[in-house]
Amino acid sequence: MPFVVTEPCIKCKYTDCVSVCPMDCFVEGPNFLVIDPEQCIDCSVCVPQCPVGAIVGANEVTPAQAPFVALNARLAQAPGWRPITRSQAPPADHQAWVGVSGKLDRLQTAW
């Protein structure tokens, strides 16, 4: 089972995880990252790199996180979303969003 990026990443978009991924399976959107389930080899190297705990095994998601399994798969193939392989600075207001729940409505799917 691949790993998935969940709600804590929305508007935080830390990229510490992408530089350690041996398969380059992260895909970037405007304010969120996803993991391409077709590329993920379930190595878990990225999990401890996420400072907000947004990366979870697809077989370990909670009921509240379950929609993120399909969301990662869909957005990994979405037009405009692009592979990301190097860390970059988080958004300027990222600290304001750490620990905030209920951010799904703030997810931007188009650039």
What local confidence, expressed as pLDDT, does residue 111 receive?
86
Any idea of the CA torsion for 81, 11, 55, 71, to the nearest 10 degrees? -50
pLDDT of residue 98 exceeding 90, the answer is yes
Burial grade of 82 (CB within 10 A; 0-12, 13-18, 19 or more): exposed
What local confidence, expressed as pLDDT, does residue 1 receive?
77
Any idea what the Cα angle at residue 60 is, between residues 72 and 66, rounded to 5°?
A: 45
pLDDT tens digits, one per residue of 58-79? 999 999 999 999 999 999 999 9
pLDDT tens digits, one per residue of 14-39? 999 999 999 999 999 999 999 999 99
What local confidence, expressed as pLDDT, does residue 66 receive?
97
Q: What is the pTM of this model?
A: 0.96
